[in-house]
Structure 1
Amino acid sequence: MSSTDTGVTYVDALYAHADLTPDAPALVTTDEVVSYRDLANRIERLAGRLIGDGIRPEQVCAIAVPRVLDAVIAMAAVTRAGAAFLTLDTELPLVRLAAMVDSAGARHLLTETGLAQRLALPVPGRTVLLDRPADTPTHPVLPPRIHPRSLAYVSHTSGSTGTPNAVLIEHRGLENYLRRIRWDHGLGPHTASVQVAPLGYDASIRDIFAPLTAGGRLILVPRAALLRPDGFAAAVRALDGNTVLSATPSLLTVLAADGAQGLPPLRLVLASGESLRPFLLSGRRRVITGDLVNQYGPTECTMTSTRFRVPPVSQTDGDLVGTPIAQVTVQLLDARLRPVPDGAIGEVHIGGVGVARGYGGRPGLTADRFVPDPSGPPGARMYRTGDLARRHPDGNLEYLGRADRQIKIRGYRLDPAEIEGALLRYPAVTNAVVVAETDDRGRTYLVAHIAGELATVTDPALRAHLARTLPYYMMPRRFVRVAIMPTTASGKADRATLRAAAPLAGDPSV
């Protein structure tokens, strides 16, 4: 199968492997092995159906399917049709899914019959039921040409307004990132990788298409097995050849908890989503026999902007995130957007091809966070990350945390204000402050301090209330009742005092 001239996208790279090695395994599940030829044929058939259904460039197609295999085909088919995809984690609350579809401006929905009825997502265009045949015959694909500035996908971040922010990513950023992973880390037909990140999060795009565009094998493990350290380790052990694993440091810590037996031999581990330093300090770097690469970058800059190859003797004097990948720039600036000297602390500003188009339907927020880049070509922009860092004499960046209230939990960036807003919608809660704590293993978790008429309010009731609108990773581990919320001299919540305060007697969170 030859690729029509549609511009260079990850689908073109996948089709090239269908031409060169059509019988090589592309997707491996517990039930079947899908070759590159079969995968390309399935993508082509669905893309033809989508084009026939009137799906056009720059339109956003939401994808809600239970199986990752079906999601892979749907994502690639949407790209082949020239549109942009929004993958949804169907385990999220229905209210949140509806908000994501709305903020992304999704016009169409690709799903299955049962899910379509349960989710009832509001899309103005077509709902394509993938478990039913097409209404009309599928014709050969005549895909539109895709420009590097065309919209590729939409992902979401937590928003302080109580609704998720839709981040619009273009093809130029996605293609640059996938190309850098393949070239910088030597991925190829020998590569075997496991899909780890849940659908609906941008890391899943890396997990899926980095090995497939390299001609490697992608192993799809049932979600239930991934949530068990023994099941996940067993799945990785079953792989032969050169194994690549992408994971958060929290997951690596769990997998390596039993020492050298916790992880099978791995050629390459890509860590991202949160600080790697606790993992290194735990002494478990030794269980990774291959290369360990620490990646850093926000969703607004196409997943990864810098990378640092961690030496065998682990660095424990800071959270080093390395140097920028190709076609990406990183500047450390002060509050007046002036460069800070090496060794000084500045806010991370990221420029280059990975910078997103902006936030869907949020022109004010887009203008605030995506600012002109004075060091770039005319019209170039850079993203104000809100992260603090310093540059070492060797050029490596050291990540120092957030300048604002946003935090990372299990690789997910969130704004505590969104959780606080959800808590305040509970009738008995009159004030709420959410803070991040760290346990003795270096893992970050959330504690919600609440005030109000709480005598009869139980933790299960609060969790059930939050679960209607928030994903699981935004759920506080503990709820602490306070009689009066402490404040600073300026009238703001005194978070330092809250962290040090003991809970009230009888507090069920004790």
Structure 2
Amino acid sequence: MVGLSIPARFAEQLARTPEATAVTEAATGAELSYRELDQRANRLAQHLIGLGVGREDRVAVLMERSIGLVVAFLAILKAGAVYLPIHESYPADRRQWVIDRAGAAVLLTDETTRATDLPAGVPVVTVDDPALVREPALDPGVSIHPGQLAYVIYTSGSTGLPKGVAVTQQEVVRLLCDPQWSPERYARSLLLGPHAFDIFVFEVWLPLLHGGQVVVAPPGRLEPATLRRLIAAHRITGLHLTAGLFRVIAEEAPEALRGLREVLTGGDVIAPTAVSRVLEVCDGIVVRAAYGATEGTVLSAHLPLTRGAQIGTVVPIGDPLTGVTVRVLDGRLTPVPAEVAGEIYLADAGVARGYLGQPGQTAERFVADPFGAPGSRMYRTGDLARRTAGGVLEFLGRVDSQLKILGFLVEPAEVEAALAGYPGVAQAVVLARELEGGEKQLVGYVVPESGGLDLAALRAHTRTLLPDYMVPAAFVSLDSLPLTANGKLDRAAMPAPDFDQIRASRAPESALHLVLCEIFSSVLGVPEVGIDDSFFELGGQSLQAMRLLNQIRTKTGVDILVNTLFDAPTVAELAAFVDAKRTTAV
């Protein structure tokens, strides 16, 4: 079974449950059965083949979450090609770079993304184009070897440029057919993550290859109230939340997860208190802590936790999935003894083919496995861990400077390269600041070549080069970088951002203003907020936004969507929105 390709495994499930619901779109209520999903994917696959798409050609996907997105991914694989997800938040230059670097043959869009600044030099196909119904609905019959690539996902790179992780079909099927997963727990799975995030593989293909149903969440970021409604309305049984989002939900609205059979979380350090809180509030739920890397095909180890579990100060990494080997080695590639820190290497099942078109970086991270068969490789994760005397594996941090921001891997060097390229910047350093709620916030420190530097213009410049999650929440201008006695960067001496420099001075003018100012101050960790201060200019990021909106709902009874916060980011503007909603309700 593990040797099958994704389309072959899907075809087996199609034969068993052709009329069962495969995909539901929460925003519209639209549904596709397995048969209808197969036919739509076949038509698109036939069209791609007609455009010359062949074996392991890359097909870029720039779309919002929708039924069409699921159709697109299945169609690409049926055509024998490789899907190349382009994150919606990528600026135009980054989109073009990924398209060019990967050598994409075609770009798939929807009506919304087609209206944006699309990359040049590649044919564009709109997935929801009515003309596609003229294509044959029969399977194209392309012979697909399990060793072919399934997808290439670009992650942040230490050289200042992204790197494309190339993963084969057999490794995806191996992951999804692991006996540790319970298809019943993911019978109705919520598709919530961005399609450029590797957990998308798990969210879509686990239910579809086991007869389950994918419920596609509405486009954009979701707040706890919306998540609660989706879980209840669609009787969601399983979903994935990044460690940061899981912590926010656990602290702000753990009852939103009631009804779930399982929630999978990982991608960063998991807060033990968050796990305990969800297990306490949600009867019968399994919180499955997960560890993995994009280069290890999404997930490599897991730890299921249920009510009554003894959770210490650290949530362990857990046990390897079937066929996966997790080694903790020292600098000489020798296993370290218990209680000694070492670096995690992933071996055997799950190891990706490497980085597309980047042999040097592939050789650096995918190294020969001295413990395996001749020619076998290990992936050097860069993660530090140790085994306790009882054999439990605990995560300790990073060997290098890589960070996880909102579940995405971020190389500070890539952000630093973007800042250093701005005219007038002599030096740039990017560090992570730990927030009170456990989230991380990027801070960009710059030294001007001479005179002052327009930090607002620098922020705008950075947004044209990097996705939102890689843009520093705050920028600090320094006369020089602080150094240690040995001439190295003194990270401890780097000043915290001073948000007082950009604060407006207008004080609260109503009781509602006062309530909102107190919520802003608490969530952002700043001593005082004026009613014209912008949430985002004060360093707010998406996880804090969820905390903010949930607390506003609790204090005022008014639901506010994240998109509204982007349009009305100040206390004064949000107060006007709340007043208008209250008036309408009356």
User: What TM-score do you get using the length of structure 2 for normalisation?
Assistant: 0.79
Whether 1:128 and 2:125 are equivalent positions in the alignment is: yes
Whether 1:245 and 2:227 are equivalent positions in the alignment is: no
Q: Which residue of 2 aligns with 1:448?
A: 444
Which runs of 5 or more residues in structure 1 are unaligned? none
Higher mean alpha-carbon deviation, 60-69 vs 309-318, is at: 309-318
Q: Which residue of 2 aligns with 1:54?
A: 52
- Secondary structure at the aligned position of 2:108 is classed as strand
One-letter code aligned to 2:208: L
Contact 2:14 2:35 in 1 (8 A): yes
Once the 2 structures are TM-superposed, how far is the Cα of residue 257 of structure 1 from its aligned partner? 3.1
Whether 1:24 and 2:24 are equivalent positions in the alignment is: no
Which runs of 5 or more residues in structure 2 are unaligned? 503-536, 539-586
- Secondary structure at the aligned position of 1:320 is classed as coil
C-alpha distance after superposition, 1:130-160 (max 9, x if no partner): 3152598548444332222211100111012
Once residues 104 and 184 of structure 1 are traced to their aligned partners in structure 2, the CA distance between those partners, rounded to angstroms, is 34
Once the 2 structures are TM-superposed, how far is the Cα of residue 117 of structure 1 from its aligned partner? 6.7
Change (3 A) 1:486 1:253: same
C-alpha distance after superposition, 1:13-54 (max 9, x if no partner): 333332222221111112311111111111122222222332
Question: What RMSD, in angstroms, separates the aligned Cα atoms of the two structures?
Answer: 2.7
Contact 1:7 1:146 in 2 (8 A): no
Once the 2 structures are TM-superposed, how far is the Cα of residue 292 of structure 1 from its aligned partner? 0.6
Higher mean alpha-carbon deviation, 425-434 vs 148-157, is at: 425-434
One-letter code aligned to 1:235: L
C-alpha distance after superposition, 1:285-342 (max 9, x if no partner): 4234311111111111111111112343452322311121011111111111111112
- Percent identity, please: 36
Q: Which residue of 1 aligns with 2:159?
A: 161
Once the 2 structures are TM-superposed, how far is the Cα of residue 448 of structure 1 from its aligned partner? 1.7
Q: Which has the larger radius of gyration?
A: 2
Higher mean alpha-carbon deviation, 482-491 vs 163-172, is at: 482-491
Change (3 A) 1:284 1:463: farther
Once residues 226 and 455 of structure 2 are traced to their aligned partners in structure 1, the CA distance between those partners, rounded to angstroms, is 31
Q: Which residue of 2 aligns with 1:233?
A: 228
Contact 1:293 1:307 in 2 (8 A): yes
Higher mean alpha-carbon deviation, 112-121 vs 373-382, is at: 112-121
Once residues 497 and 45 of structure 2 are traced to their aligned partners in structure 1, the CA distance between those partners, rounded to angstroms, is 57
One-letter code aligned to 1:147: H
Contact 2:44 2:132 in 1 (8 A): no
Once the 2 structures are TM-superposed, how far is the Cα of residue 116 of structure 1 from its aligned partner? 5.0
Q: Note the 1:137-152 alignment, pairs <5 A.
A: 138=136, 140-152=138-150
Q: Note the 1:80-229 alignment, pairs <5 A.
A: 80-112=78-110, 115-116=113-114, 118-123=116-121, 126-130=123-127, 131=129, 133=131, 138=136, 140-180=138-178, 183-188=179-184, 191-224=187-220, 226-229=221-224
Higher mean alpha-carbon deviation, 274-283 vs 162-171, is at: 274-283
C-alpha distance after superposition, 1:218-268 (max 9, x if no partner): 1112124x422211221112132x610111121122223345434322110
- Secondary structure at the aligned position of 1:42 is classed as helix
Q: Which residue of 2 aligns with 1:395?
A: 391
Change (3 A) 1:20 1:283: closer
Once residues 266 and 275 of structure 2 are traced to their aligned partners in structure 1, the CA distance between those partners, rounded to angstroms, is 16
C-alpha distance after superposition, 1:387-417 (max 9, x if no partner): 1011234433111110000011111111111
Contact 2:246 2:274 in 1 (8 A): no
Whether 1:299 and 2:305 are equivalent positions in the alignment is: no
Change (3 A) 1:149 1:123: farther
Change (3 A) 1:282 1:97: farther
One-letter code aligned to 1:246: H
**Selected match of 1:460 from 446, 453, 456:** 456
Once residues 385 and 185 of structure 2 are traced to their aligned partners in structure 1, the CA distance between those partners, rounded to angstroms, is 37
- Secondary structure at the aligned position of 2:364 is classed as helix
Once residues 498 and 135 of structure 2 are traced to their aligned partners in structure 1, the CA distance between those partners, rounded to angstroms, is 67
Change (3 A) 1:250 1:468: same
**Selected match of 1:270 from 233, 250, 264:** 264
Contact 1:429 1:453 in 2 (8 A): yes
One-letter code aligned to 2:493: T
Once residues 422 and 46 of structure 1 are traced to their aligned partners in structure 2, the CA distance between those partners, rounded to angstroms, is 37
One-letter code aligned to 1:469: L
Whether 1:431 and 2:430 are equivalent positions in the alignment is: no
Once the 2 structures are TM-superposed, how far is the Cα of residue 110 of structure 1 from its aligned partner? 2.2
Once the 2 structures are TM-superposed, how far is the Cα of residue 507 of structure 1 from its aligned partner? 4.5
Once residues 133 and 169 of structure 1 are traced to their aligned partners in structure 2, the CA distance between those partners, rounded to angstroms, is 32
Once residues 145 and 359 of structure 1 are traced to their aligned partners in structure 2, the CA distance between those partners, rounded to angstroms, is 25
- Secondary structure at the aligned position of 2:237 is classed as strand
Q: Which residue of 1 aligns with 2:71?
A: 73
Contact 1:387 1:401 in 2 (8 A): yes
Q: Which residue of 1 aligns with 2:489?
A: 493
- Secondary structure at the aligned position of 2:83 is classed as strand
Once the 2 structures are TM-superposed, how far is the Cα of residue 282 of structure 1 from its aligned partner? 7.8
- Secondary structure at the aligned position of 2:105 is classed as strand
One-letter code aligned to 1:297: G
Once residues 65 and 253 of structure 2 are traced to their aligned partners in structure 1, the CA distance between those partners, rounded to angstroms, is 32
- Secondary structure at the aligned position of 2:251 is classed as coil
User: What TM-score do you get using the length of structure 1 for normalisation?
Assistant: 0.90
Once residues 422 and 70 of structure 1 are traced to their aligned partners in structure 2, the CA distance between those partners, rounded to angstroms, is 34
Once residues 329 and 6 of structure 1 are traced to their aligned partners in structure 2, the CA distance between those partners, rounded to angstroms, is 17
Q: Which residue of 1 aligns with 2:376?
A: 380
- Secondary structure at the aligned position of 1:71 is classed as helix
Contact 1:373 1:380 in 2 (8 A): yes
One-letter code aligned to 2:269: S
Once the 2 structures are TM-superposed, how far is the Cα of residue 195 of structure 1 from its aligned partner? 0.6
C-alpha distance after superposition, 1:417-469 (max 9, x if no partner): 11111111222322121111211221111122222168754543232111101
Q: Note the 1:4-19 alignment, pairs <5 A.
A: 8-19=4-15
Contact 1:160 1:417 in 2 (8 A): yes
- Secondary structure at the aligned position of 1:153 is classed as strand
Q: How many pairs does the alignment contain?
A: 499
Change (3 A) 1:135 1:39: closer
Once residues 156 and 502 of structure 1 are traced to their aligned partners in structure 2, the CA distance between those partners, rounded to angstroms, is 31
